């Protein structure tokens, strides 16, 4: 049986925020001695000192700071739970949990969460996982929304909702000064490449163009992670195939250059949700076109 008494923890939390035993006792309408006793019982149960007295004020020990951090989370979640159970609604400031496909572009993720970056009334958590992990997390209500570049469809067991947030053209990108034109041809045949790995639709599209133009590319590296492809493109001097958003900063600063777009080749970015009774109030703000 746990020795943690949450009633005692609540009194500790209030004193820790106030920093003064007398003022906290007045606020809670209990005697100072009773409040002090509650905190001492918590310290004894946990066999730890949470406060040191400095004059009339109480200062948190290192253990006290850790306890305060957890107490903040516990009682914030308690408030959210109470609101959810009594009204069927989530607080606007409740934590929003975003699942992210581990191989997706980090620049795209930053575009998606920009409305949250620009406000301070809501905490958000980003969780990176596989496509299967994303779908399981959605089904178990562990995340509010999932970001992926892999299309999914609903089933008899799960009612996924998939919305296209962005549809971005795929480009051939590399270091400046290579003298390449905007059409695949002879100049591209002697180039080195870093390419998406495996059963990636971008890789399949490039392979089709390479076969059409008999490029026989010299492949120096492959990765299924767009963040890794970004680094490889920047550091190897080779050409790469990816949406421009992946290397937006490098293109803006001129360290990389777009040479051409692959005709009729696009990467789609999706927001996945599930039909649920309680929806985070900020979700509609996030799921918006990023075209």
15 and 83 share a domain? yes
Q: Which residues contact 224 (CB under 8 A, 6 or more apart)?
A: 103, 196, 197, 198, 200
Helices 62-87 and 6-18: crossing angle in degrees, nearest 10, is 110
pLDDT over 90 (residue 162): no
The mean pLDDT value for 102-127 works out to 85
Whole-number Å distance between alpha carbons of 185 and 94: 54
Three-state DSSP at 126 gives strand
15 and 55 share a domain? yes
What is the CATH number for 124? 3.40.190.10
Closest to 273 in 3D by CA, of 126, 97, 84: 97
Q: Note the pLDDT tens digit of each residue in 226-285.
A: 888 889 998 999 999 988 888 989 999 999 999 999 888 888 899 998 876 667 777 777
Q: Which residues contact 130 (CB under 8 A, 6 or more apart)?
A: 101, 102
Domain count, the chain: 3
Q: Note the pLDDT tens digit of each residue in 83-107.
A: 666 765 665 567 888 999 988 888 8
The predicted structure's pLDDT at residue 80: 67
Domain that holds residue 76: 6-87
The predicted structure's pLDDT at residue 175: 93
Q: What is the DSSP string of 239-284?
A: EEEEEGGGGHHHHHHTSSEEEEEEEEEEEEEEEEEE--SS--TTHH
175 and 128 share a domain? no
pLDDT over 60 (residue 157): no
The predicted structure's pLDDT at residue 76: 77
277 and 148 share a domain? yes
Q: Is residue 291 part of a domain?
A: no
- Which of the four pLDDT bands, split at 50, 70 and 90, describes residue 151? confident
62 and 105 share a domain? no
Q: Is residue 120 part of a domain?
A: yes
Helices 32-46 and 6-18: crossing angle in degrees, nearest 10, is 120
Q: Is residue 64 part of a domain?
A: yes
144 and 175 share a domain? no
Whole-number Å distance between alpha carbons of 244 and 107: 10
Give 172's strand partners.
241, 260
Whole-number Å distance between alpha carbons of 287 and 291: 12
What is the CATH number for 40? 1.10.10.10
Three-state DSSP at 57 gives strand
Q: Is residue 112 part of a domain?
A: yes
Give Dmax (Cα) for the chain: 87
Share of the chain above pLDDT 90, in %: 15
74 and 216 share a domain? no
Whole-number Å distance between alpha carbons of 215 and 203: 14
The mean pLDDT value for 65-86 works out to 78
Q: Is residue 1 part of a domain?
A: no
184 and 263 share a domain? yes
Question: Between 175 and 81, whose confidence is greater?
Answer: 175
pLDDT over 70 (residue 1): no
Whole-number Å distance between alpha carbons of 195 and 170: 12
241 and 176 share a domain? yes
What is the CATH number for 196? 3.40.190.290
């Amino acid at each position: 049986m746990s020795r943690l008494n949450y009633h005692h923890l609540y009194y500790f939390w209030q004193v820790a925020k106030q920093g003064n035993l007398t003022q906290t006792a007045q606020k809670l309408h209990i005697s100072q001695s009773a409040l002090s006793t509650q905190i001492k019982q918590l310290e004894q149960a946990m066999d730890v000192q949470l406060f040191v007295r400095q004059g009339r004020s109480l200062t948190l020990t290192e253990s006290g700071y850790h306890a305060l951090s957890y107490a903040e989370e516990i009682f914030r979640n308690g408030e959210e739970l109470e609101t959810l159970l009594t009204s069927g609604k989530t607080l606007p400031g409740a934590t929003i949990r975003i699942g992210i496909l581990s191989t997706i572009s980090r620049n795209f993720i930053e575009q998606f969460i920009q409305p949250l970056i620009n406000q301070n009334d809501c905490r958000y958590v980003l969780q990176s996982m596989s496509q299967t992990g994303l779908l399981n997390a959605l089904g178990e209500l562990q995340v509010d929304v999932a970001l992926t570049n892999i299309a999914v469809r609903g089933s008899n067991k799960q009612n996924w909702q998939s919305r296209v947030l962005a549809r971005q053209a795929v480009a051939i990108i590399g270091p400046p000064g290579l003298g390449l034109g905007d059409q695949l041809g002879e100049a591209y045949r002697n180039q080195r490449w870093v390419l998406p790995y495996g059963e990636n639709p971008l890789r399949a599209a490039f392979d089709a163009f390479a076969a059409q133009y008999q490029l026989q590319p010299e492949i120096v590296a492959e990765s299924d992670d767009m963040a890794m492809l970004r680094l490889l493109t920047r550091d190897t001097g080779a050409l790469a195939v990816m949406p421009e958003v992946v290397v937006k900063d490098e293109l803006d600063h001129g360290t990389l250059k777009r040479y051409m777009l692959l005709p009729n080749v696009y990467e789609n970015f999706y927001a996945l949700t599930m039909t649920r009774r309680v929806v985070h109030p900020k979700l509609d703000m996030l799921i918006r076109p990023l075209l």
